[in-house]
A and B are shown apart, each in its own frame.
Chain A
Amino acid sequence: MAQAVAIVGTGQTECGRRTDVSYPELVYEAVSRAFDDAGLVPDDIEAVVAGSMPPAMEGVNNPHLYWADAMGAGGKPLIRTATCGSTGISLAHTGFYHVASGMFDLVLVVGAEKMYEGDPQGTMATVADPFFQRPFLAGAPGIFSLQSNEWAHRYGIEEKRVRMAAAQLSVRNHDDALLNPYAHIRIKITVDDVLNSRIIAYPVRLLDVCPASDGACAVIMASERMAKKLGRPTAWIKGVGYCGEQAFFSEGDKVVWQSAINAAKSAYSQAGITNPRKDLDLAEVYNPFTFQEMLFYECFGFCDFGHGCDLVEQGVVMRGGDLPCDPSGGTLCTNPIGATGLQRVSEVVLHVTEKAGDRQIPGAKTGLAHAMGGLDQFNGIMIISSVL
């Protein structure tokens, strides 16, 4: 039986073009904030989990070893987890299992990326296999645009309607990012701005796409015994789910998307969630592309398949709605990839412990954190609640 796992501290850096700090200094900023938040010092930590995107992103091989001192990890067990875009949630899962296994009582989990150091699209172009997919599927926008078109086509959703819903999501994210002191893109935009922004890969326009960011995030996890001893504001991990699929994009159904569906199902079943729309108070859905977010609503059971747009049109997923999504401004406005999934976790923790400041969803008790990665291939979920 898994030991209960708590989150007792989080730390995030301001994200953006962080030329004021080196890569380890960026990590240090997040880690020291997590320690301050938890009222702990590095000596208290028993094990460390760290990760990021491919090291080519920053040009430093073994980034976890480069960060060792910045994390206070010297002399401690340190593992590096890396699963592409889903790295952040995979890090959270790795930390969870460090404690759930009964092996450790207090674990530091760190994700970071400094994307202005290198060439993010150049790095991501080499995710696709060199022979079949790379020549025409290189980089992130290509696959996500294909997926969005396939989704709209499958359900016969009118082009104009999808376009408008996605634009509304972009406006929602940008508005919410203004409330988040850590967010990268902090601009006020209108639906017209989105519709008039330049095309990146049809139907995706510039304001439908996330930025590349520098940023780091750290989370401190504890066993039930330790969390109670610390007596600080605590969030509890109620369920984890992860699923990976085929390496070749064309071999899987990316609309009724099995990896997303399975990840949510297993997390829900551990957390005892039967009706996510009702049982969840917020969701931090990994949304580097506006269109894709609506597809996730369907795979996560927030609505029936083919009805993702409805939730936007009805305001369900907006701040003040039934199930607010990405009240942080989401991945769309901030994407230091190795940290992004962990930021989703941190944000849910802040809401359920009522520490989210201006962006707080009032009364939020249970939330979902999500990240996606690979060639539209990996999905990971964590359900976090204020109650054990």
Chain B
Amino acid sequence: MTQRVAIVDFVQTKHGEALEENVRELTFGVVRKLLDRVDMDRSEIGTMISSSADYWQGTSCSNSYYYDAAGGNLKSGSKVTEDSVFALIYGMMRILSGHHRTALVVGVTKCSECPSENTLTNLAADPFFHRPVGLNTVVAEALQARMYLDQYGPSEEQIARVVVKNMSNAERNPYSHRGGKFSIGEILSSSMMAAPLRCMDVPSTSDGACALLLADEHTARQLTDKPVFIHGIGWSVDHTYIGDRDLLNGALPKAAEMAYSRAGVKNPSKEIDVVELSDVTSFHEIMWMEQLGLCDAGNGFRLVEQGVTALDGRLPVNPSGGLFGANPFVARGLIRVGEACLQLRGEAGDHQVPRVNKALAHSVHGLGGQSHSVVILGN
């Protein structure tokens, strides 16, 4: 890429179980705060790309409901759906084309207003073969977790450490929905949800919204002293039927390879300083780390046990608390990008990691991680 695209600033809601504001108010709130922070008038915004999903909003054509509230009135824009990192990617493309200098990128989900995650993700299973047997996101994740257990044999205690770490990190994050100090015993005594996943292995859903401003390098430098540059971006999809896929080696290595190659990253475990990934379960934080090439396959749980991925470790993973901290289903990917951005700017407060030059953000959607996106950021 000849031109560079930067993140100028990022704003998120204080995420929660059931926020009082409606979807319009949530998007308006984050966009208003963002524009105030960068001291910009709405008229100066080039384009607005949002991400939300109709089933996850309980309204059809979900962006129709908040297009104006999210700052898009009488502007060019679009909605890319299911994974909010797609909105970042599309906003970046629009800037690289030269048509726009700035792009407002907005993500929103109010899980409290829609049916349960299991109901909605069961609707994502094909109607003929998978839906009748009850396949949904947790069931698919449990199948993956079981395969991982069988292949590499971590103990339940080793996996539970992810939850302990992320919930403890989340407690330091003022925007998280939940957090706290938990013992391994508490996690292992939580009831079984879909073996081997226990209730506390799976972060429940949240309400939340976020907005970030993208700009070309020249514009970004005028707007902020601390631009965060997108060094590389990659995304990939796996096959339709879960039985046609290698559940321990799917689309993520391909997405990561694309992002690393565009960012010129040769040795991710050495070059990346902090990781914000979509930890859809405790097992998955470990699996995604391995599939991102941050450690060898079957070695992730050992890094967690050794404290390598802790806030003060060599390679902190999810210092924000990840999805254990807050899980607004569609917006969560863009929040990972925003949190990585805060780390690079040294603005993460109590969950700040020292010396961050390069960060990785990751997002996932689809049963058993059918689709992944990876973003490499740097200052």
Name A's B-contacting residues (CB within 8 A): 1-3, 24, 48, 51, 53-56, 59-62, 64-70, 73-84, 90, 93-94, 97-98, 100-103, 123-124, 126-127, 129-130, 240-247, 258-259, 262-263, 266, 373-375, 377-378
Tell yes or no: B191 within 8 A of A by CB: no
Please tell me if the beta carbons of B74 and A73 are within 8 angstroms of each other in the complex. Answer: no
Tell yes or no: B319 within 8 A of A by CB: no
Once bound together, how far apart are the Cα atoms of A97 and B82, in whole Å? 19
Once bound together, how far apart are the Cα atoms of A263 and B94, in whole Å? 16
Please tell me if the beta carbons of A243 and B81 are within 8 angstroms of each other in the complex. Answer: no
Please tell me if the beta carbons of B65 and A75 are within 8 angstroms of each other in the complex. Answer: no
Tell yes or no: B258 within 8 A of A by CB: yes
Once bound together, how far apart are the Cα atoms of A72 and B255, in whole Å? 17
Please tell me if the beta carbons of B238 and A75 are within 8 angstroms of each other in the complex. Answer: yes
**B4-30 interface mask toward A, CB cutoff 8 Å, 1 = contact, 0 = none?**
000000000000000000001000000
Once bound together, how far apart are the Cα atoms of A84 and B81, in whole Å? 12
CB distance from A132 to the nearest CB of B (A): 11
Once bound together, how far apart are the Cα atoms of A97 and B95, in whole Å? 9
Please tell me if the beta carbons of B371 and A2 are within 8 angstroms of each other in the complex. Answer: no
Which of the residues A62, A81, A129, A246 comes within 8 Å of B80, measured between beta carbons?
A: A81
Please tell me if the beta carbons of B68 and A60 are within 8 angstroms of each other in the complex. Answer: no
Using A56-B54, A90-B78 as known contacts, say yes or no to A374 and B64 having CB atoms under 8 A apart. yes
Please tell me if the beta carbons of A62 and B366 are within 8 angstroms of each other in the complex. Answer: yes
Please tell me if the beta carbons of A68 and B68 are within 8 angstroms of each other in the complex. Answer: no
| A54 cross-chain contacts in B, Cβ below 8 A | 54-55, 60-62
Please tell me if the beta carbons of A74 and B238 are within 8 angstroms of each other in the complex. Answer: yes
CB distance from B302 to the nearest CB of A (A): 30
Tell yes or no: B190 within 8 A of A by CB: no
Once bound together, how far apart are the Cα atoms of A68 and B65, in whole Å? 28
Please tell me if the beta carbons of B64 and A84 are within 8 angstroms of each other in the complex. Answer: yes
Please tell me if the beta carbons of A2 and B59 are within 8 angstroms of each other in the complex. Answer: no
CB distance from B82 to the nearest CB of A (A): 6
The 6 A-B residue pairs with the shortest CB-CB distance, nearest first, are A84-B61, A54-B60, A101-B96, A61-B124, A100-B97, A101-B93
Which of the residues B61, B81, B124, B255 comes within 8 Å of A81, measured between beta carbons?
A: B81
Interface segment out of the listed B84-92, B304-312, B345-353: B84-92
Please tell me if the beta carbons of A62 and B1 are within 8 angstroms of each other in the complex. Answer: no
| B365 cross-chain contacts in A, Cβ below 8 A | 62, 65
Specify the chain A residue showing the minimal Cβ separation from B239.
A74
Once bound together, how far apart are the Cα atoms of A56 and B61, in whole Å? 10
| B370 cross-chain contacts in A, Cβ below 8 A | 62, 65, 68
CB distance from A352 to the nearest CB of B (A): 22
Using A56-B54, A97-B90, A244-B72 as known contacts, say yes or no to A79 and B235 having CB atoms under 8 A apart. yes
Once bound together, how far apart are the Cα atoms of A326 and B227, in whole Å? 47
Which of the residues A3, A247, A258 comes within 8 Å of B69, measured between beta carbons?
A: A247
**B141-185 interface mask toward A, CB cutoff 8 Å, 1 = contact, 0 = none?**
000000000000000000000000000000000000000000000
Please tell me if the beta carbons of A73 and B124 are within 8 angstroms of each other in the complex. Answer: no
Please tell me if the beta carbons of A2 and B74 are within 8 angstroms of each other in the complex. Answer: no
Please tell me if the beta carbons of A97 and B93 are within 8 angstroms of each other in the complex. Answer: yes
Please tell me if the beta carbons of B371 and A65 are within 8 angstroms of each other in the complex. Answer: yes
Name B's A-contacting residues (CB within 8 A): 1-2, 24, 48, 53-55, 58-69, 72-82, 86, 89-90, 92-94, 96-99, 120-121, 123-124, 126-127, 234-241, 244, 251, 254-255, 258, 365-367, 370-371
Using A55-B54, A81-B78, A102-B2 as known contacts, say yes or no to A377 and B240 having CB atoms under 8 A apart. no
Please tell me if the beta carbons of A79 and B75 are within 8 angstroms of each other in the complex. Answer: no
| B77 cross-chain contacts in A, Cβ below 8 A | 242, 244
Please tell me if the beta carbons of B60 and A124 are within 8 angstroms of each other in the complex. Answer: yes
Please tell me if the beta carbons of B80 and A77 are within 8 angstroms of each other in the complex. Answer: no
Please tell me if the beta carbons of B61 and A82 are within 8 angstroms of each other in the complex. Answer: yes
Specify the chain B residue showing the minimal Cβ separation from A81.
B80
Please tell me if the beta carbons of A80 and B81 are within 8 angstroms of each other in the complex. Answer: yes
Please tell me if the beta carbons of B94 and A66 are within 8 angstroms of each other in the complex. Answer: no
Please tell me if the beta carbons of A247 and B65 are within 8 angstroms of each other in the complex. Answer: yes
CB distance from A214 to the nearest CB of B (A): 15
Please tell me if the beta carbons of A77 and B55 are within 8 angstroms of each other in the complex. Answer: no
Using A97-B97, A377-B64 as known contacts, say yes or no to A79 and B86 having CB atoms under 8 A apart. yes
Specify the chain B residue showing the minimal Cβ separation from A377.
B64
| A2 cross-chain contacts in B, Cβ below 8 A | 97-99
| B124 cross-chain contacts in A, Cβ below 8 A | 60-62, 65-66
Once bound together, how far apart are the Cα atoms of A100 and B93, in whole Å? 8
| B65 cross-chain contacts in A, Cβ below 8 A | 129, 247
Please tell me if the beta carbons of B123 and A59 are within 8 angstroms of each other in the complex. Answer: yes
Which of the residues B48, B53, B73, B237 comes within 8 Å of A78, measured between beta carbons?
A: B237
Once bound together, how far apart are the Cα atoms of A97 and B78, in whole Å? 12
Please tell me if the beta carbons of A126 and B60 are within 8 angstroms of each other in the complex. Answer: yes
Specify the chain B residue showing the minimal Cβ separation from A129.
B65
Specify the chain B residue showing the minimal Cβ separation from A261.
B74
Specify the chain A residue showing the minimal Cβ separation from B54.
A54
| B258 cross-chain contacts in A, Cβ below 8 A | 77
Please tell me if the beta carbons of A245 and B74 are within 8 angstroms of each other in the complex. Answer: yes
Specify the chain B residue showing the minimal Cβ separation from A241.
B76
CB distance from A338 to the nearest CB of B (A): 11
Residue of B53, B61, B63, B74 contacting most chain A CB atoms (<10 Å) = B61
Which of the residues B68, B81, B89, B99 comes within 8 Å of A247, measured between beta carbons?
A: B68
| A56 cross-chain contacts in B, Cβ below 8 A | 54-55, 60
Instruction: Enumerate 5 A-B pairs (CB-CB under 8 Å) in ascending A order.
Output: A61-B123, A90-B79, A94-B80, A127-B61, A244-B63
| A259 cross-chain contacts in B, Cβ below 8 A | 74
Specify the chain B residue showing the minimal Cβ separation from A67.
B240
| B2 cross-chain contacts in A, Cβ below 8 A | 102
Specify the chain A residue showing the minimal Cβ separation from B66.
A247
CB distance from B83 to the nearest CB of A (A): 8
Please tell me if the beta carbons of A94 and B240 are within 8 angstroms of each other in the complex. Answer: no
Which of the residues B69, B96, B237 comes within 8 Å of A77, measured between beta carbons?
A: B237
| A246 cross-chain contacts in B, Cβ below 8 A | 67-68, 73
| B236 cross-chain contacts in A, Cβ below 8 A | 75-78
| B92 cross-chain contacts in A, Cβ below 8 A | 101
| B81 cross-chain contacts in A, Cβ below 8 A | 51, 80-82
Specify the chain B residue showing the minimal Cβ separation from A251.
B68
Using A60-B123, A244-B67, A247-B69 as known contacts, say yes or no to A80 and B54 having CB atoms under 8 A apart. no
| A53 cross-chain contacts in B, Cβ below 8 A | 60-61
CB distance from B374 to the nearest CB of A (A): 11
Which of the residues A75, A94, A373 comes within 8 Å of B61, measured between beta carbons?
A: A373
Residue of B24, B60, B234, B244 contacting most chain A CB atoms (<10 Å) = B60
Once bound together, how far apart are the Cα atoms of A247 and B255, in whole Å? 35
| B254 cross-chain contacts in A, Cβ below 8 A | 75
CB distance from B67 to the nearest CB of A (A): 5
Once bound together, how far apart are the Cα atoms of A55 and B326, in whole Å? 25
CB distance from A16 to the nearest CB of B (A): 21
